[in-house]
């Protein structure tokens, strides 16, 4: 066998025995798709012109969240390690110089050029590559789970700000109504139809509402900061000041059966990552077991020979030696311990997954309860309590205008009406937060069974007291007061 043929044999062993894990191609394709989505999302940190809709905030957060990008980089790092895990050991090239040449019949041997290639047991490389590929899939599922978590966090902060802005609009409207009531009461004092004590009651109520307005304005600043942090906007950047569109809120119940939602929870990316991690540890155990088997090495020695002093047949011919080696695994106990450690890690991952599944299924029940409760409150406030409070308020205001009701009764009716109006907005916000939490737990959008279209309490007709009677004209919703 010539030296060239031997070298080609050694060079061809690696590609013949190497393997590409089944998941690597899909991993790299998914990585490219995620990277392209970030590149098209823009590198700027400023908010684009948006109208305050929740989905626009979520889209921006997914494109700019440093935490999500860090999760992506961990996924990318795990994917790039797959090709490293399946690579053969580097060949060894050695050169030797005969300080004292060995004299042979065909001439003195002066130089030796050697090439060695270690050949691990095939399963050792394939299983190691499989383990790393499975780890990369687990990292991808964690990336997907983190995206769901970020979307839910943005929704929680968005609905908090949504509620506070609507509550502020209602409180400001209450101040306007109290202002009208104060003017009419002052006019009645002038004709001895009301007392200064009643004026004092109204002014006290106005002062309390003004305090509520100031407190709500501060809460809005804090809520905007929380939303900015959830979205990933740098400090100091301004969020849109407009109230989000009315179409964002709805009262709905899940249209899917509980069994379908539970099945979706079990397929959640976070729970799925535990199974992938367990499979990765099992593959790692197979790779370690392969190290307990003998491995081989192939080598070629090229001995350069000078011309013989006495001319003879074959004088100066170089010698080529092809050798085969066997690695004898002596430390069986240590490798066995390493294999059992990998199996234990696989079992731990599965048990962690079972625990996380139980927690997730319990969280599903809790989120469904929150959705149902907020839906019940919306229907109660909107269909029963708010119309009743509106009717009582209009009756009391009408009676007050003609002198048949006291200021205290008017203030009480107004307080009940506006408290219910704020409670309705809070119920809508709670419903939106509960639905966002439900979709985070399920890991996908949940089909809605939409209820009747809801109306804002600010859109209802308001009656303001006056000297001449009841004002029956509809009042502004106050949605643009900010």
pLDDT tens digits, residue range 186-225? 666 665 655 666 667 777 888 888 898 999 999 998 998 8
The list of the chain residues with pLDDT below 70 reads: 1-22, 38-51, 106, 182-199, 234-248, 308, 314, 399-408, 451-482
Q: Collapsing DSSP states into helix, strand and coil, what is residue 252? A: strand
- Give residue-wise pLDDT tens across range 421-473: 999 999 999 999 999 999 999 999 999 887 544 444 444 434 444 433 333 43
The pair of three-digit structure tokens given for residue 266, joined into one six-digit string = 């079990």
pLDDT of residue 332: 83
Largest Cα separation within the chain, whole Å, is 146
Could you tell me the residue ranges of all domains in the chain?
A: 44-87+120-293+329-471
Q: At what angle do helices 66-85 and 122-190 cross, to 10 degrees?
A: 170
The pair of three-digit structure tokens given for residue 43, joined into one six-digit string: 């590198």
Strand, coil or helix: what is 51?
coil
Helical segments of 100-121, H only: none
Supply the CATH classification number for the domain 44-87+120-293+329-471. Answer: 1.20.1600.10
C-alpha–C-alpha distance, residues 163 and 32, integer Å: 39
Tell me if 113 sits within 8 A of 167, measured CB to CB: no
Q: What is the pLDDT of residue 138?
A: 95
Angle between helices 407-442 and 258-266 (to 10 degrees): 50
Q: What is residue 41's predicted lDDT score, i.e. its pLDDT?
A: 52
Q: How far apart are CA 249 and CA 52, in angstroms?
A: 13
pLDDT at residue 231 in the model: 84
Provide the 8-state DSSP code for 392.
H
Predicted pLDDT at 64: 82
User: What per-residue confidence (pLDDT) applies to 77?
Assistant: 93
359 Cα distance to chain centroid: 18
The CB density around residue 215, as the number of other CB atoms within 10 Å, is 12
């Amino acid at each position: 066998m010539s030296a060239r043929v031997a070298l080609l044999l050694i060079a061809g062993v690696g590609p013949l025995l190497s393997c590409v894990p089944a998941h690597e191609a899909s991993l790299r394709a998914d990585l490219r798709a995620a990277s392209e989505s970030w590149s098209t999302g823009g590198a700027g940190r400023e908010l684009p012109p948006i109208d305050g809709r929740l989905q626009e905030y979520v889209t921006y957060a997914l494109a700019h969240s440093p935490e999500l990008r860090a999760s992506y980089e961990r996924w990318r790092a795990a994917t790039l390690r797959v090709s490293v895990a399946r690579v053969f050991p580097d060949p060894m090239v050695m050169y030797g110089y005969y300080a004292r040449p060995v004299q042979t019949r065909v001439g003195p041997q002066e130089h030796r050029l050697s090439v060695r290639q270690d050949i691990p047991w095939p399963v050792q490389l394939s299983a190691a590559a499989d383990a790393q590929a499975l780890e990369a899939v687990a990292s991808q599922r964690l990336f997907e789970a983190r995206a769901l978590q970020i979307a839910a966090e943005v929704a929680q902060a968005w609905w908090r700000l949504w509620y506070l802005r609507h509550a502020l609009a209602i409180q400001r409207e209450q101040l306007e109504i109290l202002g009208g009531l104060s003017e009419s009461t002052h006019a009645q004092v002038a004709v001895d139809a009301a007392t200064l004590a009643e004026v004092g009651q109204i002014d006290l109520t106005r002062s309390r509402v003004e305090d509520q307005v100031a407190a709500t304005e501060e809460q809005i600043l804090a809520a905007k900061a929380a939303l900015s942090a959830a979205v990933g906007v740098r400090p100091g950047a301004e969020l849109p000041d407009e109230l989000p569109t009315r179409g964002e809120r709805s009262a709905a119940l899940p249209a899917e059966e509980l069994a379908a939602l539970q099945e979706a929870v079990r397929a959640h990316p976070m729970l799925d990552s535990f199974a992938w991690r367990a499979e990765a540890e099992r593959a790692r155990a197979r790779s370690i077991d392969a190290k307990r088997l003998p491995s081989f090495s192939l080598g070629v020695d090229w001995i350069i020979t000078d011309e013989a002093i006495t001319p003879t047949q074959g004088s100066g011919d170089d010698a080529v030696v092809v050798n085969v080696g066997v690695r004898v695994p002596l430390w069986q106990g240590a490798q066995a311990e390493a294999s059992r450690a990998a199996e234990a890690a696989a079992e731990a991952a599965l048990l962690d997954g079972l625990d996380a599944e139980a927690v997730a299924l319990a969280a599903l029940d809790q989120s469904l309860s929150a959705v149902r409760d907020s839906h019940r409150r919306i229907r109660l406030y909107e269909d029963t309590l708010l119309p009743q409070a509106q009717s009582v308020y209009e009756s009391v205001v009408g009676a007050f205008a003609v002198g048949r009701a006291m200021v205290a009764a008017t203030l009480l009716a107004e307080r009940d009406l506006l408290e219910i109006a704020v409670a309705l907005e809070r119920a809508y916000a709670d419903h939106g937060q509960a639905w966002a939490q439900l979709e985070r737990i399920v890991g996908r959008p949940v089909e809605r069974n939409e209820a009747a279209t809801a109306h804002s309490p600010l859109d209802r007709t308001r009656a303001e007291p006056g000297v001449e009677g009841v004002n029956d004209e509809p009042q502004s919703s106050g949605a643009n007061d900010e």
